[in-house]
Amino acid sequence: MKKVYIETYGCQMNVADTETVFSILAQNGYARTSDMDDADIIMANTCSIRDNAEQRIWGRIEQFNLRKKRHPEVLVGILGCMAERLKDELLDSGKVDIVAGPDTYRKLPELIAAAASGTPQIDVMLSREETYADITPVRLDSNGVSAFISIMRGCNNACSYCVVPYTRGAERSRDFSSILREACDCASRGYREITLLGQNVDSYGFEGTGFAELLGMVAGQVPDVRIRFSTSNPQDISEKVLTTMASHPNICHHIHLPVQSGSDRILEKMRRRYTREGYLSKVRRIREIMPDCAITTDVIAGFCSETEQDHRDTLSLFEEVGFDAAYMFYYSERPGTLAARKYPDDVDLATKTRRLEEIITLQNRLSLESNRRDIGKTFTVLVEGRSKKSPDELCGRNSQNKMCVWPDSRHSAGDTLQVRVKDCTQATLLCEEI
Ligand code: 5AD
Ligand code: SF4
């Protein structure tokens, strides 16, 4: 049996895709290995979101080729977003044998077989239908607690900075009956948490069923499993999603709501379809319906033409919302996107990094303040495993997705228990079992 090793980069969607790829390959007689030096086929499932993500993968391709030098029969494959974006450029490097885009994974067995007979293979066709609905992923989560279920693929938003619509193609939703089946399957295998994944979950739609209905159906179908979802878009998340979250005890109170900028002028150039005030009113509504709901975000510093005033608008929005956590980036121009074609990347690197640092410093304080507000509160946590810092402590997340640690010798991964917060750091709630 040939052995396949896959490294996964980028978002949770890619993790779910790697699980699909392993499933397709297993059905075709390939085995999985987690040791690159043991593999006959070495692959990376890649990300193109920022230039540094791609640079890192070029570095890995060099590493893969060191093994190939010693064992010329080893095949190197590039999957996912970078395969889709760079296409032949990867084959032309002479360092890659297989290039497969996100919608062509069913063809991997064929591509591998053809590449093994000496001709490099590429398939980067995007599809309007492929959702891999019938493929049961090989779950890679080693402690068997948390599973991803992809509910849709692609993206129809046209955010001017973003490469995803080009790498993952048009949006399509997966048949809800296959999603429900997969949720039941996860529950029966002992999974205690499911995260529903899509680039824009609020635009899920299959035969009249929207995201709020789907969320309610999944939560009702597996009432003992915690449900999370990602990602929501500020203009699309609906009242009905919020009331569904509030009315099912097993849906977690956490919304990841990428804001990208606090300046209306920049939001318009980014082609986001909301204003600063629209975003803030969405946040107020979330908190009216679920006062304990955590809100996290993504932000981009130094987008084209961003001024100090625009930047201060972002800082003040962060202050006003008081995000529980954030993923923070500086703008990286992606070839072919609307922004790359239309606007010069005119904020210099030093300014971008300085603004990013200012946002990070502010968010570090906001995260600490958010955690301090939790001191004295009790939460239900789902045990993920031993804490990294101390063998006598367990770690797990609460509904708000905050990491909790507490001394514990009785429980193990997959258990649920109540803890009280005694203290905190910026990243963790320090708790005791109650
Ligand atoms: N440059 C920097 N960050 C980006 N993101 C998306 N495209 C870019 C880009 N060109 C960020 C956004 C998005 C997150 C997944 O990555 O904040 O929400
Ligand atoms: Fe990276 Fe976006 Fe592709 Fe996910 S969808 S792998 S974040 S480029």
Residue 10 neighbours by CB under 8 Å, 6+ apart? 45, 46, 47, 49, 53, 80, 81
CATH 3.30.750.24 describes domain 141-252:
no
Work out the average pLDDT over 33-53.
97
Check residue 19 and give its pLDDT: 97
102 pLDDT exceeds 90? yes
Q: Identical fold at 3-123 and 141-252?
A: no
Dump pLDDT digits (tens) for 203-256: 999 999 999 999 999 999 999 999 999 999 999 999 999 999 999 999 999 999
pLDDT at 142: 73
CB-based contact 51:332 (threshold 8 Å): yes
Q: Is the pTM of this model over 0.85?
A: yes
- Tokens representing 174 are 């997966």
Q: What is the 235 CA–ligand 1 centroid distance (Å)?
A: 17
Distance separating alpha carbons of residues 133 and 200, to the nearest angstrom:
18
How far is ligand 2, taken at its centre, from the CA of residue 30, in Å? Answer: 26
Confidence at residue 330, expressed as pLDDT on a 0 to 100 scale: 98
Rounded CA-CA distance 9/415 in Å is: 29
Q: Which fold has domain 378-433?
A: OB fold (Dihydrolipoamide Acetyltransferase, E2P) (2.40.50)
State in words which class domain 255-373 has.
Answer: alpha beta
Q: Mind listing the pLDDT tens digit for each residue in 308-365?
A: 999 999 999 999 999 999 999 999 999 999 999 999 999 999 999 999 999 999 999 9
Q: 318 CB less than 6 Å from ligand 1?
A: no
Q: Is 300 in the pocket of ligand 1 (CB under 6 A)?
A: yes
Ligand 1 close to Cβ of residue 175 (< 6 A): no
pLDDT at 103 over 80: yes
Show the 3-state SS of 371-430. Answer: HHCCCCCEEEEEEEEECCCCCCEEEEECCCCCEEEEECCCCCCCCEEEEEEEEECCCEEE
SS (H, E, C) the chain: CCEEEEEECCCHHHHHHHHHHHHHHHHCCCEECCCHHHCCEEEEEECCCCHHHHHHHHHHHHHHHHHHHHCCCCEEEEEEHHHHHHCHHHHHCCCCCEEECCCCHHHHHHHHHHHHCCCCEEECCCCCCCCCCCCCCCCCCCCCCEEEEECEECCCCCCCCCCHHHHHCCCEECCHHHHHHHHHHHHHCCCCEEEEECCCHHHCEECCEEHHHHHHHHHHHCCCCEEEEECCCCCCCCHHHHHHHHHCCCECCEEECCCECCCHHHHHHCCCCCCHHHHHHHHHHHHHHCCCCEEEEEEEECCCCCCHHHHHHHHHHHHHHCCCEEEEEECCCCCCCHHHHHCCCCCCHHHHHHHHHHHHHHHHHHHHHHHHCCCCCEEEEEEEEECCCCCCEEEEECCCCCEEEEECCCCCCCCEEEEEEEEECCCEEEEEEC
Probe ligand 1: pick from 52, 161, 259, max atoms within 8 Å of CB?
A: 161
Dihedral (CA of 224, 225, 226, 230) sign: negative
Residue 262 binned pLDDT confidence (cut-offs 50, 70, 90) = very high
Domain boundaries, the chain: 3-123, 141-252, 255-373, 378-433
Sign of the torsion formed by the C-alpha atoms of 197, 357, 283 and 160: negative
**What is the position in ligand 2's atom list of the atom closest to the CA of 45?**
6
The reported pLDDT for the residue numbered 324 is 98
352 lines ligand 1 (CB under 6 A): no
Q: Of all protein residues, whose CA lies closest to atom 6 belonging to ligand 1? A: 162
Look-up: residue for tokens 């509904």?
Answer: 399
Ligand 2 pocket by Cβ (under 6 Å): 10-11, 13-14, 47-49, 80-81, 163-164, 167-168
Q: Whose CA is nearest to atom 18 of ligand 1?
A: 298
Identify the residue whose tokens are 């849906």.
251
Which one of 47, 153, 197, 337 would you pick to mutate in the ligand 2 pocket, going by the greatest count of ligand atoms within 8 A of its CB? 47
pLDDT tens digits, 54-84 = 999 999 999 999 999 999 999 999 999 999 9
Q: What is the pLDDT of residue 143?
A: 82
- Superfamily of the domain at 3-123: Methylthiotransferase, N-terminal domain (3.40.50.12160)
pLDDT confidence of residue 411: 97
Q: Compute, in angstroms, the gap from residue 260 CA to the centroid of ligand 1.
A: 8
> Mean pLDDT over all residues of the chain?
97
Instruction: State if residue 331 touches ligand 1 by the CB under 6 angstroms criterion.
Output: yes
- 383: pLDDT strictly greater than 80: yes
Instruction: Grade residue 141 by pLDDT with cuts at 50, 70 and 90.
Output: confident
**Which of ligand 1's atoms lies nearest the C-alpha of 260?**
17
Over residues 169-192, the mean pLDDT reads 97
Q: Is the pLDDT assigned to residue 384 strictly greater than 80?
A: yes
Residues with Cβ < 8 Å from 387, sequence gap 6 or more? 393, 394, 395, 405
CA separation for the pair 423, 356 (Å, rounded): 28
